[in-house]
Amino acid sequence: MSIPAAAMAAFSLLLSSTQASGGPVYADGTARINALLGASLDVVIPPGVYTIYGELDVRNGQTISAAADTKVILKTADGYTGRIINASYERVTVRNITFDGNYARRMSLEGAGNSAALVHVANGADSVFENNVFQYAPSHAMYVYKSPRVKIRGNTFHETYYAIRMDGDNLPESGTIEGNAFKNTDAYKSIQHLTATATHNLVVRNNTWEGAGLAEPTSHGYEGTWGNSIYIFDSTGYLVEGNKVGRNHWSSLVSGSNGKNAIIRNNSFTDGKTSIAAWIEQGGAEYITFDSNQLDGGLFVGDNGGDHLTITNNVIRSRGVGIDVSFATKTALIQGNKFYKRAGYERTGSGIYLWEKKDPATNVQVIGNHIEGYDKGIAINNRGGIGRAHGISFSGNTFANNTHDVHAPSGIQLIPPAPPAPPAGAPSTAR
């Protein structure tokens, strides 16, 4: 019996698609998976590539996963402009699923926002996303809103325009982002890996990150900060630790406006287009501890915000300034850090640059640091190279191979910190 040529061609196409993906390809993917979701709260999806052309009907308390040792790909249809999962007021657990946003065929959705997120979770307390792959998303891979204690662990984010945006709506215990891998190249446009706002006690731990903004997005977003792996603002109590960040367009981390009571420790950060690897800045940023990090690039603090800082035990290898302490930082402890000039940039820049310390209430302590290979180990300056610089104290610092160990222009008068005020009720020492 002979097989018609058209049927043979269709069979060959199906076979090649099946072989390439490791499973069958289902054009009716949304309907098939919705049937599974409607039948059970514990859903195991058979292997295959499922074309998604409408939101999946997830339910509260549902667990969705791939069968053991199989691959399930949920891939958006070429003309589809919506989400794959929209969990609103549902607690869901999703494991071992690949979400494919079909970026190459949906370029018109670049930066479309929440409406085109692969996964959207709102009011989904205690939801878990674990060991999934999010790839080729032209908008958000994940958009998480008002969902306390959400856990995003062990996932891979590959070539996503915007990997995670989390808006905690100022609820307590925003959740954990841990053990994930974020990777972009210049093949597809991207804006940021993680933006977190209005979060409380968010934990960002032991992730790897690289490539945000290497292909510049058409729109930079209304917030203006882009091309970083980690951007956290309007948030309190966050912990960023154990992350390893490679080269991005702008920098590794921005701890931004109204970021308060945070700890950033034991990370490896790399600079980008600028020579700065990490920023603590913008209005209202205060009470930040930056400890025991490795920086292949500089640290910039105090640009319109960034006060009450503790910067300790870091190793900084910079091509520009080691730490740039700008005008808004009035109270800081800079202690036990090691500064080295990166090879090829020797005898340029400053290890610690203290700018515009004109406020008599300034108290910046520079203690026990080692600074090596710069033009100026510690530099103090004001606009125009004149005026007073208040409240800077030095002790126990060591220097090697700098052109100047400590330098201030001749027009700068150094005013030591004011003595602490006596406790209330103490006798006056005035004569």
Give the model's pLDDT for residue 418: 81
Q: Return the pLDDT at 22.
A: 54
Q: 366 near 352, Cβ under 8 Å?
A: yes
Q: Which domains does the chain have, with CATH numbers?
A: 8-415 (2.160.20.10)
Give the pLDDT confidence score for residue 18 in this predicted structure.
46
Distances (CA, A) of 154 to 42, 94, 180, 309: 21, 12, 5, 32
Question: Is there a contact between 322 and 374 (Cβ–Cβ < 8 Å)?
Answer: yes
Within 8 A by CB and 6+ apart from 365, the residues are 332, 333, 334, 335, 393, 395
CA angle 122, 126, 130 (to 5 degrees): 95
Reported residue count of the chain is 431
Q: What is the pLDDT of residue 427?
A: 53
CB atoms within 10 A of CB 9: 10
Predicted confidence at residue 13, as pLDDT, reads: 40
119: region left, alpha or beta (phi > 0 left; psi from -120 to 50 alpha): beta
* pLDDT by position in tens, the chain (length 431): 343 444 334 333 443 344 345 589 999 999 999 999 999 999 999 999 999 999 999 999 999 999 989 999 999 999 999 999 999 999 999 999 999 999 999 999 998 989 999 999 999 999 999 999 999 999 999 999 999 999 999 999 999 999 999 999 999 999 999 999 999 999 999 999 999 999 999 999 999 999 999 999 988 876 778 999 999 999 999 999 999 999 999 999 999 999 999 999 999 999 999 999 999 999 999 999 999 999 999 999 999 999 999 999 999 999 999 999 999 999 999 999 999 999 999 899 999 999 999 999 999 999 999 999 999 999 999 999 999 999 999 999 999 999 999 999 999 999 998 877 676 665 544 43
DSSP codes, 329-367: --EEEEES-EEEEPTT-TT-SEEEEEE----TT-EEEEE
Which amino acid is located at 110 in the chain?
E
